[in-house]
Amino acid sequence: MTRLTGARIARQLPALIGPFVVLALGWELAAGVILDPRFFPPPSVTLPLAAELYLDGDLLTHAAASVRRIVLATAIGASAGIAVGVVAGWSHRARLLVNPHLAVLYPLPKIALLPVMFALFGLTETVRVLTMALAVFLLVAINTTGGVRSISDVHVEAALDNGAGTLDLYREVILPGARPQIFSSISMGLSVGFALLVVIEMLAAESGLGYIIWNSWQLFTIPRMYVAVFSINVLGVFFVHGTEILGDVLTPWEGTYKQ
Amino acid sequence: MSDRPANRQMATMQDTRMESPRRSTDETAGSQSGSATGERSVRIRASDVEKSYTGQDGDVKALSGMDLEVYDSEFFCLLGPSGCGKSTFLRLISGLLEADAGEIDIRTESDGDRPTTSMVFQEKGIFPWKSVLDNVAFGLKMRGVGKQRRYEIAREYIQKVNLSEFENAYPHQLSGGMAQRVGIARAFANDPQVLLMDEPFGDLDAQTKRYLQEELLSLWSESKKTVVYVTHDIEEAIQLGDRLGVMGARPGHVKEIVDVDLDRPRTRENLDIARLEALQTRVWNVLSDEVQRTVERR
């Protein structure tokens, strides 16, 4: 399995790196001809700067702050979402109780809640993480509910007929049955989480890549801004696609993962 | 595995007694059966079973006054039009559903932890997220059999249904017929005292169906398990069964018991065609007014 995963990543890598290479080459060629280098510094400027900022400056600290936030928010949001989704998917009564709340909260842009959250918890790291976690939670809870409900009755009957207890039912039927939806919703949650991360760091943080982007724009240190923009892009690709690949590896029965 | 048949036989000969953990137990059933049916011992006895479902327009009676006796080691086919409650009855025997009234007794042998019943489902009864091997070993896993031992047993039955090359495949890689063989292997690997089958070949093409029927019969004659096989297909029932319970619908009940007195194997050369046709006509006569009623109500 590990070798197959490695082979799969090696096969996908060119597809993920390719766009960056094409963009960099085009940008370099167009710089000074049709692109104003004050606003669009070419890779020959930004790449050495990136090395400098990461090795000697404090960009690594900021990137680490962003990673910490997205990882915490996803971990909290996804575990709560899976727990609520499994219960709501399994029990009709729980679903009647929970669903209306999810349905109302889901379309609300979570960033609108940021001031409310600050009023509740103060200007803290908790608020930044929880606001993102809420977005992940809603996506994962709704999709997990759907995933559990899509499990066909005959599989539950088959498990019971073979002597499965309640715990076995969760471990052998409900969780694997909903696993494809759980992973795709975590991946979706991560991309929504990244959008929130940048906005929250721009508005209400003194650290993180979003903070660097906004701060650089205001100080007009445009090359530094691009270094942060591409950093968040690379992190996004890593986390969002990484979760998808992990999901495919952990659901080999789906057949998306051809050997 | 070599010790299993001997074990089973000993249990049947010496150590049989009434024991039904999931269903009600009738202590006198054993002696009654002796006088009522002569030589043959009753394995399953259903008396006056009722079952209703709560539907949109109130309760719907699925079964009422359902009486049935299934003998030890026989292949019993429950035959009836769709919606006559035959699948419901199978679920009552398995314990997946509980009867509203009446009793179902299953005579069980105190033979270690063999399950009383095991079901083969209509289709898609195997878990898509488990490999063939893990599907077949599932019941054993649930009963706490260690990994090495349960895989050993599972592989034996996978071989019996000719799927050895596919033990690591997932169900989406299998054809319908192969998937149903996995379901059969899972039930046999459980080594149940009674095998329940819910139209297992209903969705297969005629050739595959024929092939799997023969495979099933050879597994059955090797194990001599009691089988209750639900189908709506008259020819299939006559091809497979020792006896048929022909059911009437709304609410479901047994209308007539038909003895299939055809020699096995029921191959083309071996078959008494005149007798077969007589049986078909008899079953069809019982069923036809049922079917007519069902069709007219739609």
Q: Which amino acid is at B73?
A: S
Strands B101-109 and B42-55, by their bridges, are antiparallel
Q: Does B138 touch chain A (CB under 8 A)?
A: yes
Q: Distance between CA B277 and CA A110 in Å, rounded?
A: 73
**Which residues between 185 and 204 in chain B have a beta carbon less than 8 angstroms from any beta carbon of chain A?**
186, 190
Strands B226-231 and B194-198, by their bridges, are parallel
- Same domain flag for B227 and B104: yes
- Same domain flag for B43 and B96: yes
Q: Please, are residues A136 and A190 in contact by the beta-carbon 8 Å criterion?
A: yes
Residue B151 lies in a domain: yes
Write out chain A residues lying below 8 Å of B117, CB-based: 161
Domain residue ranges in chain A: 46-254
- Same domain flag for B145 and B246: no
CATH superfamily, with its number, for domain A46-254:
MetI-like (1.10.3720.10)
> B129, A251: Cβ pair inside 8 Å?
yes
- Same domain flag for B280 and B269: yes
Specify the pLDDT at position B47.
84
- ipTM greater than cut 0.90: no
Strands (E), chain B: 16-18, 42-55, 58-71, 75-79, 101-109, 117-120, 194-198, 226-231, 243-248, 253-259
Which of the four pLDDT bands, split at 50, 70 and 90, describes residue B10?
very low
A169: closest chain B residue by CA: B142
Instruction: For residue range B54-111, list pLDDT tens digits in order.
Output: 877 778 888 888 888 889 889 999 998 887 888 899 999 998 998 888 888 888 877 6
- Same domain flag for B84 and B155: no
Q: Please, are residues A66 and A208 in contact by the beta-carbon 8 Å criterion?
A: yes
B120: closest chain A residue by CA: A158
What are residue B226's DSSP bridge partners? Answer: B194
Q: How many domains, chain B?
A: 2
Q: Does B53 touch chain A (CB under 8 A)?
A: no
> A172, B139: Cβ pair inside 8 Å?
no
Last residue of a domain, which of B191, B208, B230?
B191
Domain that holds residue B91: 14-116+192-297
Q: How many residues does chain A have?
A: 259
In the predicted model, what is the mean pLDDT of residues B188-194? 91
Residue A67 main-chain phi, psi, to 5 deg? -60, -40
Last residue of a domain, which of B191, B223, B246?
B191
The contacts of residue B274 (CB under 8 Å, 6+ apart) are none
Q: Please, are residues A151 and B105 in contact by the beta-carbon 8 Å criterion?
A: no
Q: Distance between CA B201 and CA B181 in Å, rounded?
A: 10
In the predicted model, what is the mean pLDDT of residues A207-224? 94
> A157, B172: Cβ pair inside 8 Å?
no
Q: Give the CA-trace dihedral at B107, B109, B115, B121, to 10 degrees.
A: -40
Q: Does B147 touch chain A (CB under 8 A)?
A: no
Q: Which of B90, B98, B129, B191 best probes binding to A when mutated, by most A CB atoms within 10 angstroms?
A: B129
Task: Output the DSSP codes for A21-53.
Answer: HHHHHHHHHHBTTTB-TTTS--HHHHHHHHHHH
B189: closest chain A residue by CA: A162
- Same domain flag for B200 and B271: yes
Q: Distance between CA B199 and CA B88 in Å, rounded?
A: 12
> A157, B143: Cβ pair inside 8 Å?
no
Instruction: For residue range A87-125, list pLDDT tens digits in order.
Output: 999 988 999 999 999 999 999 999 999 999 999 998 889
Note the helical H segments in chain A.
Answer: 2-30, 43-55, 59-90, 92-105, 114-121, 125-149, 153-161, 166-168, 175-204, 209-219, 222-250
A258: closest chain B residue by CA: B173
CA distance B186 to chain A (A): 9
- Same domain flag for B111 and B172: no
Write out chain A residues lying below 8 Å of B125, CB-based: 154-155, 157-158
- Same domain flag for B242 and B105: yes
- Same domain flag for B110 and B222: yes
Bigger pLDDT: B32 vs B93: B93
Residues of A with CB under 8 A from a CB of B: 152, 154-155, 157-165, 168, 172-173, 176-177, 179, 251-255
- Same domain flag for B93 and B208: yes
Which pair of structure tokens corresponds to residue B45?
């006895």
Q: Distance between CA B207 and CA B201 in Å, rounded?
A: 11
* B194-198 sheet: strands from edge to edge: B117-120, B194-198, B226-231, B75-79, B243-248, B253-259
Residue B5 lies in a domain: no
Write out chain B residues lying below 8 Å of A155, CB-based: 124-125, 127
Which pair of structure tokens corresponds to residue A85?
């989704």
